[in-house]
Amino acid sequence: MEIHYTYKAVGNLGKLPKEIQKRIVKKMRFYATQSDPLQFAERLIEPREGGFRFRVGDYRVVFDVVSKKIFVLAIKKRDKAY
């Protein structure tokens, strides 16, 4: 699968410390290489921004899947994600 980041997600990622940025990008690449990356995802019950989320440490990566593409919509700290 391909990964596409929205401007908002890029902005969220840019505000994080470099170590966290690297960890999130590395994890997203890992998910993209899997045959079914949704097996690692949680479906959001009340999706406001996206339908799914990945957990990367204390952060949540909110995304949608459209036509075999992952669209990262937001990256937020766990306590501020919902």
**Looking at the predicted structure, is the pLDDT value of residue 46 above 90?**
no
More confident residue, 79 or 16: 16
pLDDT value at residue 15: 96
pTM of the model: 0.88
Exposure letters 54-67 (e unless 16+ CB within 10 A, then b): bebeebbbbbbeee
Mind listing the domains of the chain with CATH numbers?
A: 2-80 (3.30.2310.20)
Q: What is the mean pLDDT of residues 39-44?
A: 93
Rounded Cα–Cα distance for residues 52 and 73 (Å):
10
The pLDDT mean for the chain works out to 92
Please report which residue ranges of 1-82 form alpha helices under DSSP H.
7-14, 18-33
